[in-house]
Amino acid sequence: MDSQPAPPGFNYDESKVPDYTLPDPLLMEDGTRVTDAKTWREIRRPELLQLFETEVYGKAPGGKVNHQVKALSREQAALDGKATRMEFEISFPDAPDLKWYLLVFLPNSASRPVPGFLGLNFNGNHSIHPDPGIRLSTAWMRQGGKSPGVKDNRATEASRGESASRWPVDKIISRGYGLATIYYGDIDPDYDDGFQNGVHGTMDSFGRPRPAPDEWGSIAAWAWGLSRILDFIEVTGIDPHKVALLGHSRLGKTSLWAGARDERFALVISNDSGCGGAALSRRRFGETVARINTSFPHWFCGNFKKYDDNEDALPVDQHMLISLVAPRPVYIASAEEDVWADPRGEFLSAKHADPVYRLLGTGGLGEETMPDIDKPVGETIGYHIRSGKHDVTGFDWDQYLNFADRHLSGKKHDVP
């Protein structure tokens, strides 16, 4: 398992995981046990949401935001005639510096609206497929080994299709699904600038230099952005009642938080999301709360720093985040060599969310022990640990497509 060297002082040794007691998702703050769906919905779910909001991710502004959606391009013969490719520009009259670009592929063979996957991407829309018709992002972009086409923090032509292995567009289309994606840095650039840029810096109500300790960090901002996309996704031809939200790594943390908050997302997928995503914080295995808050001080809200080296004081743990998606289908994926993300902690979160799924009348995960490598399990909570590294692979997508077939086809997802 230990293909990654552990950073100094960090634990990759299962025998050194401390004893811990997980908070019970079905035990209310006043000590009463939740025994029916109504109490979960009306009391416990709101309690937990509020705790995650104020102690972990931070509150995002509520209510509708004034925005305009402009169609930029439409190519009906994309992917050798199999798909229609569209791009949209989203602008905000109250925040003139903010512009988002949404890329959409729809299968030409399916009648509209179609069920679809929605996910943020790391390297710009043009990175997900080499199609030269896709607009090259002009936004600030992180630089690094995985995106050699990015120079001086801007994308170059060489970065087209760089992330294509993570976005099997042909396969998604041939299975009858649409795909919508947006560069996460359009919503909030991923670096710590004291929250000057992106949505933090431009929204009127949050226009002060730094959010308060219980207000949104970048993960909450990205999650908020996903909900804004969902507000208008219908115009693209994707069925707003059949949206599977998907994210990898920091964006897997984001998809879980977005899916927990916004019950309009019909299905939620977290790929290798690790600390602050699917992995239990109390295990302190791989990346810890203190480590993530130090390396990425802008991701979570200020209050989350209270739990640096103090995980037992957290009023929640990440199994409760997964339970907030219930009864909607959720898929948690790990990778064997991704020890930094703590695959066992990700599985245990899924397992400890199971009682909530069962209370709400679904099949939940239905597994007590971690499955073998490359053997997907679970009914309403799907889980697998695949062989290989931290990544999104064809194997991962095959499971997501099968899971979506099982849960999205035919039925309309009603928002409670």
Question: Which residues here bind ligand GCU, judged by CB under 6 A?
Answer: 249-250, 274-275, 287, 292, 295, 340
Tokens standing for residue 1: 């398992």
Cβ atoms within 10 A of the Cβ of 303, count?
18
Largest alpha-carbon pair distance within the chain?
Answer: 60
| Catalytic residue flag (residue 249) | yes
Give me the residues paired with residue 379 across strands: none
Least distance in angstroms from the C-beta of 391 to ligand GCU: 10
* Helix ranges, 266-339 (H): 289-295, 318-323
Cα gap 79→82, rounded to integer Å: 5
Q: Is 311 left (phi over 0), alpha (psi -120 to 50) or beta?
A: alpha
**Cβ-contact 329, 400 below 8 angstroms:** no
Q: Is the dihedral of CA 71, 218, 330, 51 positive or negative?
A: negative
Residue whose CB is less far from ligand GCU, 55 or 287: 287
Cα gap 78→179, rounded to integer Å: 13
Give me the residues paired with residue 407 across strands: none
Least distance in angstroms from the C-beta of 371 to ligand GCU: 22
**Cβ-contact 326, 360 below 8 angstroms:** yes
| Catalytic residue flag (residue 129) | no
Least distance in angstroms from the C-beta of 6 to ligand GCU: 13
Spatial CA neighbour of 259 closest among 273, 243, 279, 248? 243
Tokens standing for residue 329: 């289908």
Least distance in angstroms from the C-beta of 334 to ligand GCU: 12
Tokens standing for residue 142: 């992180």
**Residue 289 to residues 222, 254, 300, 347, 380: CA-CA distances in angstroms?**
20, 16, 10, 18, 28
Cα gap 10→376, rounded to integer Å: 29
Residue whose CB is less far from ligand GCU, 84 or 147: 147
Spatial CA neighbour of 327 closest among 373, 370, 301, 362? 362
Least distance in angstroms from the C-beta of 340 to ligand GCU: 6
Catalytic one of 249, 255, 281, 323: 249
CA 393 to chain centre: 16
Give me the residues paired with residue 150 across strands: 155
Least distance in angstroms from the C-beta of 120 to ligand GCU: 11
Catalytic one of 298, 384, 390, 407: 390
Residue whose CB is less far from ligand GCU, 87 or 338: 338
Angle among Cα 390, 346, 281 to the nearest 5 degrees reads 105
Least distance in angstroms from the C-beta of 131 to ligand GCU: 25
Active site residues: 249, 390
